[in-house]
Amino acid sequence: MVEARGPLQKSVTILGATGSIGDSTIDLIQRNPDSYRVVALTAHSNAAKLASHARALKPEMVALADEGAYRELKDALAGTGIRVAAGAESICEAAGLDADWVMAAIVGAAGLQPTLTAVRRGAQIALANKECLVCAGSLFMNAVTEHGATLLPTDSEHNAIFQVFDFDQRDKVSRIILTASGGPFRTLGHNEMGLVTPAQAVAHPNWSMGAKISVDSASMMNKGLEVIEAHHLFGMPENKIDVLVHPQSVVHSLVEYADGSTLAQLGSPDMRTPIAFCLGWPARLDAPVAKLDLAKLGMLSFEAPDDVRFPCLRLARTALQVGGAAPTILNAANEIAVARFLGGEIGFLDIAGTVEDTLEKMASPQIATIDDVIAVDAEARRVATQGAGQRAQRRNVAAAE
């Protein structure tokens, strides 16, 4: 039988429970066991890790997107009383269960439908999936308003802005400034970046993240996606959203006001800080995070981003300016290109090249429905797959010569 919990506990569902965000969320919950009751956990295919989390947290339901891993998960949880499911529909089913708070941490466009399911029942959403807003920004935000959901940004940058943004005086905000670490290739030249390996790209200097997000950070596409996300979250036009490279990752973002004040949120580079903010909201939750010692740090440095060496940031800004389906195309093409790079099929510089080619080949019609998003996403993946394949062939020919 599933263990009964106290009536004052906040009920929680974690979509993407086996990734780095899911791990950090579970760590905080386990440190505060009397405050939270876990309703559901989901993952893509890591049955062993999901089962381990489930045995510790005793949710009502667990679900895997990968149906091929169902039997492993079912066997691992035999006798626990926990309901086990698999397939894309089961992830949405888990998101639809009655939980007060949902961590939306599924990586990529795959997180859109489950997160919308939680939005439509008016839950508190800790949004760690930026692709929901990149692919379907206006539709997603309209759904949040229509269904009375609460959106709590979990990305460290957007969470930082959320903490210092005066929503009652939005007209007095001059600009918002997203900080970026610059990733592992911040000082590399163009030719050197053409030779980097997937292992080098996922070795982020400051943050512990999954492979896809780490590569996005290395290419600065992550920051481009965050510009689009910030536009929707805070209602700011593209020309009032700046990016500043800050290698120490201590100042997580800033908000500049009309009177000359600039407010910033600072903290150690540990995702448990923004997750704790969202998990405890509107109260503050204790988190086992190292406190800042500014005297020990001694110096914080900042520099402008290099749009020439890191074209993904420019591509994302252009997609936001074009509007319509362009951000959806951008995201789909990037997901394909990153997967091909991690698989060793294309080079690091081919990521931006594949995205740019896909944007040039496709029209950017207006997005009116989620079905439109799904259709554009599918076509962009087809075009990007073809383009990445051609780049891979040219790379193989060059290597053989």
Please report the DSSP string for 183-230 in residue order.
Answer: -TTTT--HHHHTT--HHHHT--SS----HHHHHHHHHTHHHHHHHHHH
Domain extents in the chain? 10-153, 156-305, 323-401
What is the per-residue pLDDT across 5-56, written as a single tens digit (0 to 9) for each?
A: 444 699 999 999 999 999 999 999 999 999 999 999 999 999 999 999 999 9
Over residues 192-199, the mean pLDDT reads 91
Of all residues in the chain, what percent carry a pLDDT higher than 90? 87
Q: Tell which CATH classification among 1.10.579.10, 1.10.1740.10, 3.40.50.450, 3.30.1330.30 matches the domain 323-401.
A: 1.10.1740.10
Residues 193/218, Cβ–Cβ less than 8 Å:
no
Residue 3 has pLDDT above 50, yes or no: no
> Into which CATH architecture does domain 10-153 fall?
3-Layer(aba) Sandwich (3.40)
Whole-number mean pLDDT of the chain?
94
Q: Which helix (H) or strand (E) holds 288?
A: none
pTM, rounded to two decimals: 0.92
Q: 58's torsion region: left (phi>0), alpha (psi -120 to 50) or beta? A: left
Q: How many CB atoms lie within 10 A of CB 185?
A: 19
How far is 283 from 159, CA to CA, in rounded Å? 15
Q: Which of 214, 217, 194 is nearest to 202 (CA)?
A: 214
Of all residues in the chain, what percent carry a pLDDT higher than 70? 96
Between 144-153, 208-217, 252-261, 362-371, the lowest mean confidence (pLDDT) is in: 208-217
pLDDT in the model for residue 399: 76
C-alpha R_g of the chain = 21
